[in-house]
Structure 1
């Protein structure tokens, strides 16, 4: 934009309007100190929503200040407005040509931040100002990853984003696609999954870490519409993960019989075995899902197949104390062994397929013949073959013969869809407790015993049995004649009251184990808040997600660490909890454990790989929090962890300083022994006996002048060493040795008699070694408190 096109604008306004073209996204970081200070001042004024000062600062500040970011986290003025949902301030910044696609150091744009926090109006404002929907952060995640959450505000944001130009096949750098992430939360964002499929998302997307497919994720969530949409668009019903588990295994373990019916309609293999040799029937038996067990047996799952532990499905149900499932499997085994047993596997699969495609088949039947309910057998067979019915010709002919009328060879279509005529009643879908299965309407039949004819309609008071109660009967409570009303209770309240029976009943009725309360907390979070370890183990065994977070992004690990429950923290870490998960304020579980003042919990997190260098939004790190809460043991743990982190970093080797010559030794020792010998006093804290080791060299002493004196001295030495109570060893692996160079200067200059007060200076010729050793053992308690020293040979000879 040239000066000629803006004759009525001053210099500052022209700088504002040209900021978007002057600074590309790669150069928005403040470079000099002046720019950094002005950026921080601008962020402060935006946070206080002071419009006049913001405009004044932008007009008189450095060029392009509105799009500059601070050097620490890469936050710009528009980021602050989006995070705090300041609509008027964001509108002002956008009107002053603020770039909506500026990214911070994590690669997040303003619309990503607003979508993550559920700011609907802010997302709408940024989208109307052409904010890019295809940007990705440093992890490769686009805006779809940020708007997947169970709130209604996020649902509105999802609908708004899907109207724009968004990449539905966005794949993060870890290999997980946005559609895969949405299917894992299908119970919260079912509409988003369907919209992604409509816009071309890959139905066979998988997680490269676990090998789990989108169909398996939807089956684990129990979302039948998402599963149906995936299968209709070419999803593979027999795909398996790295543990060789299929979608049928997942649905059977969760007890979702509707999902099993859908998989049966698409010819899923119910006899596939996992890496442990388990079929879907084993999973249903272990979970106590009796209806799933009956359905799988009727659809061809082998009830007599054993897993790698050599257990039948009935034995698995018995071990898990599932009586209903064990009863169904026992009956299935008896029926399989009977002579008159007739399997209806093909007919049952055809029944499931026709139930799933009923609308399409009825349209095809109606287009061929005008009659709605009756048609010829030949036409019926041709329509089924055109739609690729999952049945062979012989079995199809058997079904036609069973359904068609013997005279006219006509088939009632309604009876075919209900399974009448060719399938026993217990094989029909209407025999299962499934609310969405359609049935026929009819009137209830009244039996004859309901209304009995009374011969004498008028009875006397004396003979009337309804006038007064009998003398031998008690008057019962009237409420006992009525059925008790259904009582509903929150799942979180059941967790607080330790009501395992209600929770088991709820999970058996397909209530999700990760259902959220009004504060978006799952039952596992509530159990961690209460510190109920037994409840935590119960919920984890039922498949609770340990990495779910609430509205403030607190995970179950945050709540357990904040309460200081070390056992629960260990249980969560063993089941895959993220040790460095961060809340909206960048608070890690280690920081919550420090606030709980529980040293064992802090030590466990540090050993599990917690980041001791993390900082929250206030700039406080773990050491600052430990000093603030004043626990010396926690402070020492954090200090040691920081020292280990600093030691792990490579450092440049500094040149060693030249050693100073000690002239005092030469005065006391002859010329041939000027260099001092070091004696190591090694202490083992776990040992009972201690020893003082000397170098394996000849100790300097009196000169040998005669052979007779030398022999006498050697004989005295042998007697003295024979009386020793301890063995002399040159190397003590368990002891800790400190060199004299590590001692403080004040300690090096200290008198040896003051270091060990129980050692008195005596002459070598008058020392009694045995008495000295007894005196040494009596004073070992002083050595155990830290007396680890290095003496020179001259000092050692003086006292020994």
Structure 2
């Protein structure tokens, strides 16, 4: 009541105002901006009569009184302004927002209808996303606004800056009723592609819009059309892990073995993502279990990489080759060791994996487990007859790599297994040399552990007649002097001289670790 009395008095006072009495604030907002935003429709006419150019005046954000009213949804204010002067109907602000765009964004149906009647540009595209009013309505889910716009010879085929048309946006957002409305307007849109060759059903699948997928299938959408990467709707559904959608697509003739541009199948991506139900459905529908990616990774291989134990078991039961390597000759056991999946390593060994297989870099699973500092897997492999002295292509042994990594526990484990302490890599370095290059306290402990083993070698392996010379070398106190003991190898006689090998011309880095890094495709 107080506000009403105040506005009545203000209205009476305004009748005595002259044009020069109205001023702008620091934002260049006029009194008409203020009352338009507040919705004081009874003050609009009077203020406009005092100073008519207020109607088209833009504040510092380039907003007109009409745009302010559209943002707030004040129907009566809008009607009054448009009745006085509709020339600001297509003026945009700094964000390139026009009155029509504001009304659509806020789902103000009555205002949209009013603006259309007054000549608003319904097909005008904003300069940031290239979207029309229809595309904005499809994004926000304003079905009644969409319905009204479709009566205005609207352009349903406009592509925004992301390559999306109105139907693609509606499918992306899962607005089923809007998709149906658009298809009734233009049925052949059902398989219309965006800039990336994605159909509406593919977009619905990759955004997990199950109801939209069902509706599109019922309208005979093409379930096998792929995008520019040759990924199908089924591939996208398997990646998301929606088993219901996967089943629906297959029941409606989706091909289960379509491979992408890098040869990833639906079964591969479901195995990679750990989507157990999808894997089961695909296998029951005769998905090819040995289809490999361009890198040679099978569904079984990638499931071992990702640690999806139950999927590994299922694929093995269905016939996956447990030793099938990729194009670098790495086996599932290699990748499981690299990713430290102990449970899968154990499973693979129990089912016949070759623990001493080597890849093209001559790395064994044992070498990789050592490079990854995984004691439990190293121990597991040793317990299953892994060769502790297999060297990779630069002649680095597992002992080289654990000395380089500085893991004294694994160093001791390898020494206990009689790892060759005198093996030289292509750079001419023994594990002792690798240790000597390290300058931290942990390595001092490693040195002590190594020389503890040497004492055992001297006392129990070295022939009795030559033991004194060996002990003399061992008993030097300096860690750097003790490293000379690396010239002594198991079974060598002093007559061999313990000569140090010259570095090879093809000398490499002390330890090769780059080749044990793996990445998955998607």
* TM-score in terms of structure 2 length: 0.49
- Bigger CA radius of gyration: 1
Normalising by structure 1, what TM-score?
Answer: 0.33
Instruction: Judging by fraction of residues, say which structure has more helix.
Output: 2
Greater length-normalized contact order (CA 8 Å, ≥ 6 residues apart): 2
